Amino acid sequence: MLLSVAHAADETIATGIMPADAILLVYFAGGQLGLIETKLGKGRHSAEQKDRHAGLGGLGCDGVVISATTTADKGNQKVQLVRT
């Protein structure tokens, strides 16, 4: 069953994730929060994402954007990033 984009967005918001939130939150030793945003193909940040990430950066959260061409590449980049 395919979900419409609007339906998928409604489900995401219902879980407490806001549209501009990072895709992956990583909690490091010492309470440091890392944010990983992924973009597949030609995906780009929305204005809301740029504002949200800038605000979190101002609070000391490190943010990284991963651009990938395949889901496997995206996963490999995330693993490599967290391990460094």
pTM above 0.75, yes or no: no
Structural domain boundaries enclosing 34: 19-83
- Total number of domains constituting the chain: 1
What's the rounded Cα separation, in Å, for the pair 33 and 21?
13
Q: Is residue 13 domain-resident?
A: no
Amino acid type, 3: L
Q: pLDDT per residue over 53-71, tens digit each?
A: 888 888 888 888 888 888 8
Q: Indicate the average pLDDT of the chain.
A: 76
Q: Is residue 32 domain-resident?
A: yes
Question: Which residue, among 30, 9, 5, 29, has the nearest Cα to 21 in the 3D structure?
Answer: 9
Q: Is residue 6 domain-resident?
A: no
What's the rounded Cα separation, in Å, for the pair 10 and 25?
20
Q: pLDDT per residue over 5-40, tens digit each?
A: 555 566 666 666 666 666 677 787 788 888 888 888
